[in-house]
């Protein structure tokens, strides 16, 4: 039985789209003809063919952006990266779970060798500083890289990375944020940025034209409206001291246009965020040169340890501790004015906030939105004073974030943009989910003060690790119920708990819902979908903790599923004084659903609650209470 979940409307758990660089470490590159003595970065080995393919695609994107801007910065290192990854493809294709057909392994290996050879030649050209030769060689590299995609099975992923590196084998939508899944490909979309009327000069308006192109170089004329716009343009100066979020206008010929005035001379990177139909979200960076006197570069220094006042509004950023790579980072913004919480934030572009994060080297890009329980917040919705985001970082370093909030109305927007700079430290890697012993991190501070299941005050002993965050519960029962939820349901409940909007709820009922909508609906035989019969027999027929062999025998050496199969469960949410209560849902117990645990007979409302209490008896026997404790007073 899959639990349904009542979504909260104005607060957030969030995920972010990353344009990332591989994780690398230093090694010495030998000297010789055409080389100066210098160090290149060793490339971390890919764990799978899919990972190698994805990293190759990201590297191709970076090289294309650099060469398109007339720069060789980083090209030699990236070409070296490509060559090293290409050499790994043959071995990765041999893995049983690679998805590569056996009769294609040899061909895959040869394609990898071809990519490695062309990448090495690109490396040589870039080392010599020959831009023209590098551009010519890159076309060969891109063609070789595109062959790699043809060998791997199609894979689709969430562009907001809600589920980390998880992929799917068919199109669909992300179960967390509901955005369309994006096809994983080594080919990339591009954008031509053309100043109409000559060079771009600082301080003077310039008409810019934007032509979106698919991997074949053909113009893209159909894009989806995402957060109310077909194209989001995020512009930053090279030192990240200047930022703008604009929306070029769609023209009748399918191109886009924007008239803009850049404040100073120098390099600017334009990140184009758009979604071609049937493909998924694309983020294409293009670097342009603006003529004129440049401003003195402003060094980035972390400054997120204190609040910042913008246009009369004071905004504080709470990261809940150091921000690290390898898991979800929680970024909570609190908005006040004249010392009072702001509770009337209006939606901006269909969301209660927008967050853009860019690394100091411009190689990582994050565009995050609050997850408000649907694709968009309604125009009449109100939010604040706290808005939470989640971002995922793969590379340590210094990052600058710009959060945007609408302090006006839906009809008359007034957008406040607040920048913060923070450091991202190396982390341990991915997050751990589930309820195994290794996943319990009782020493880590919980992100929530109220239980996501009931709204009660949490007990710091009862915790789970979810997407890199420590989640606390009021008791072990709630922690066990959490384990049975889907990630989407967990995210929605955690959002409400963090924001303090979880209503006081009886055990077993939804936050914001009724018992009829509870985790324990019994429209089938009562066994949760994610607990197989084999798993149920292991739970019930193997003694452990306070659940003994004598209990197993007293219960008929069977499972609750098998014993009560076909019996419907009803939930009485209004028990009378003196009624026995289900130890899990705290609704009125049903005598027919009785079970012996620890030598004592308990009554439950339904078989799934028996599952949970048996599991509690086995894993946390000290938390059991006597049946006499479960009486309505």
Confidence check: pLDDT of 15 > 50? no
User: How do residues 19-48 score in pLDDT, each as one tens digit?
Assistant: 333 333 333 333 333 334 445 556 778 877
Confidence check: pLDDT of 187 > 70? no
List the single range of 102-116, 121-135, 305-319, 334-348 with lowest mean pLDDT.
102-116
Same-fold call for 45-151 versus 189-290? no
117-137 mean pLDDT: 92
Measured at the CA of 521, the angle between CA 519 and CA 526, to 5 degrees, comes to 100
User: How do residues 69-126 score in pLDDT, each as one tens digit?
Assistant: 788 888 988 899 899 998 888 878 777 667 777 677 778 888 888 999 999 999 999 9
| CA 51/CA 38 separation, integer angstroms | 28
Confidence check: pLDDT of 371 > 60? no
Q: What pLDDT is stored for residue 162 in this prediction?
A: 67
597-602 mean pLDDT: 94
> What does the block give as tokens for 488?
């989407």
Confidence check: pLDDT of 196 > 60? yes
359-379 mean pLDDT: 72
Map out the domains of the chain as residue ranges: 45-151, 154-184, 189-290, 308-425, 437-513, 533-629
414-432 mean pLDDT: 79
| CA 217/CA 340 separation, integer angstroms | 53
> pLDDT band at 168, cuts 50/70/90?
confident
Instruction: Dump the DSSP string for 284-322.
Output: EEEEEEEBSPBPPP------TTS-EEETTEEEEEE-SS-
| CA 560/CA 566 separation, integer angstroms | 11
Confidence check: pLDDT of 332 > 50? yes
How many beta carbons lie within 10 A of that of residue 437, not counting itself?
Answer: 6
Residue 61, sorted as left (phi over 0), alpha (psi -120 to 50) or beta, turns out to be alpha
Q: Which residue has the higher pLDDT, 520 or 214?
A: 214
Q: Average pLDDT of the chain?
A: 78
> What does the block give as tokens for 24?
């690398």
Backbone angles phi, psi at 177, to 5 degrees: -95, -10
Confidence check: pLDDT of 6 > 60? no
Q: In DSSP terms, which residues pair with 416 in a beta bridge?
A: 405
List C-alpha distances in Å: 620 to 476, 480, 602, 612: 8, 10, 17, 11
Among the residues of 19-74, which ranges form H helices?
49-68
The answer for residues whose C-beta is within 8 angstroms of residue 101's C-beta and 6 or more apart is none
Q: What pLDDT is stored for residue 121 in this prediction?
A: 94
> What does the block give as tokens for 52?
């190698």
182-186 mean pLDDT: 62
Whole-model pTM: value is: 0.47
| Highest CATH level, class, for 308-425 | mainly beta
- Residues of the chain with pLDDT > 90, as a percent, come to 34
Per CATH, which fold does 189-290 belong to?
2.20.130
User: How do residues 544-596 score in pLDDT, each as one tens digit?
Assistant: 999 999 999 999 999 887 888 767 666 677 788 899 998 887 888 988 889 99
Pairing of strands 340-341, 459-466: unpaired
The answer for residues whose C-beta is within 8 angstroms of residue 270's C-beta and 6 or more apart is 191, 193, 233, 234, 235, 285, 286, 287, 288
> Which range, 216-225, 229-238, 340-349, is most confident?
229-238
Instruction: Dump the DSSP string for 66-128.
Output: HHHTT--TTHHHHHHHHHHHHHHHHHHHHSTTS---GGGHHHHHHHHHHHHHHHHHHHHHHHT
Q: What pLDDT is stored for residue 189 in this prediction?
A: 85
Confidence check: pLDDT of 438 > 50? no
199-218 mean pLDDT: 88
Query: Which CATH code of 2.60.120, 1.25.40, 1.20.120, 3.30.450 fits the domain covering 45-151?
Result: 1.20.120
Q: What pLDDT is stored for residue 271 in this prediction?
A: 96
Q: What pLDDT is stored for residue 17 in this prediction?
A: 33
């Amino acid at each position: 039985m899959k639990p349904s979940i009542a979504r909260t409307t104005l607060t957030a758990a969030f995920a972010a789209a990353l344009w990332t660089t591989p994780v690398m470490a230093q090694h010495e590159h030998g000297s010789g003809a055409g080389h100066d003595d210098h160090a290149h970065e060793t490339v971390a080995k890919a764990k799978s063919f899919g990972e190698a393919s994805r990293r190759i695609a990201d590297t191709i994107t970076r090289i294309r952006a650099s060469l398109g801007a007339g720069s060789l910065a980083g090209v030699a290192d990236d070409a070296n990266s490509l060559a090293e990854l290409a050499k790994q493809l043959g071995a990765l294709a041999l893995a049983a779970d690679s998805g590569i057909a056996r009769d294609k392994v040899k061909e895959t290996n040869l394609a990898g060798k071809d990519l490695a050879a062309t990448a090495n030649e690109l490396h040589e050209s870039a080392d010599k500083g020959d831009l023209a030769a590098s551009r010519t060689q890159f076309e060969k590299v891109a063609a070789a890289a595109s062959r790699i995609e043809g060998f791997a099975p199609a894979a689709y992923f969430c562009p907001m990375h809600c589920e980390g590196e998880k992929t799917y084998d068919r199109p669909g939508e992300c179960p967390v944020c509901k955005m369309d899944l994006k096809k994983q490909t080594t080919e990339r979309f591009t954008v031509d940025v053309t100043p109409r009327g000559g060079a771009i000069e600082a301080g003077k308006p310039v008409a810019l034209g934007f032509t979106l192109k698919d991997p074949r170089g053909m113009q893209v004329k159909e894009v989806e409206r995402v957060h109310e716009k077909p194209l989001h343009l995020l512009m930053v100066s090279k030192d990240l001291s200047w930022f703008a979020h604009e929306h070029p206008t769609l023209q009748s010929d399918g191109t886009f246009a924007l008239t803009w005035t850049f404040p100073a001379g120098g390099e600017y990177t334009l990140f184009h965020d758009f979604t071609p139909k049937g493909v998924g979200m694309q983020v294409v960076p293009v670097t342009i040169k603006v003529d004129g006197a440049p401003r003195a570069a402003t060094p980035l220094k972390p400054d997120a340890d204190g609040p910042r006042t913008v246009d009369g509004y004071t905004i504080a950023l709470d990261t809940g501790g150091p921000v690290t790579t390898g898991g979800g980072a929680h970024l909570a913004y609190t908005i006040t004015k004249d010392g009072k919480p702001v509770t009337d934030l209006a939606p901006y572009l269909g969301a209660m906030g927008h967050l853009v994060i860019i690394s100091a080297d411009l190689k990582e890009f994050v565009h995050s939105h609050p997850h408000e329980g649907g694709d968009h917040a309604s125009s009449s919705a109100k939010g604040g004073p706290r808005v939470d985001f989640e971002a995922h970082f793969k590379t340590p370093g210094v990052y600058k974030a710009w959060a945007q909030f609408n302090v006006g109305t839906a009809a008359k927007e007034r957008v406040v943009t607040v920048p913060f700079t923070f450091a991202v430290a190396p982390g341990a890697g991915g997050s751990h989910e589930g309820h195994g012993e290794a996943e319990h991190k009782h020493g880590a501070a919980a992100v929530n003060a109220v239980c996501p299941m009931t709204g009660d005050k949490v007990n710091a002993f009862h915790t789970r690790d979810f997407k890199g965050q420590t989640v606390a519960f009021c008791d072990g029962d709630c922690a066990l119920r959490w384990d049975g939820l889907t990630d989407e349901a967990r995210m929605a409940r955690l959002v409400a708990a963090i924001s303090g909007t979880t209503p006081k709820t009886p055990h077993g009922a939804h936050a914001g819902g009724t018992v009829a909508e509870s985790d324990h609906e019994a429209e089938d035989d009562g066994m949760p979908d994610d607990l197989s019969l084999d798993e149920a027999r292991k739970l019930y027929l193997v003694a452990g903790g306070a659940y003994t062999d004598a209990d197993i025998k007293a219960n008929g050496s069977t499972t609750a599923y098998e014993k009560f199969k076909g019996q419907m469960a009803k939930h009485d949410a209004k028990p009378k004084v003196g009624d026995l209560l289900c130890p899990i849902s705290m609704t009125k117990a049903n005598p027919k659903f009785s079970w012996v645990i620890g030598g004592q007979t308990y009554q439950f409302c339904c078989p799934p609650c028996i599952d949970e209490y048996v599991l509690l008896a086995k894993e946390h026997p000290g938390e059991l209470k006597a049946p006499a404790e479960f009486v309505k007073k």
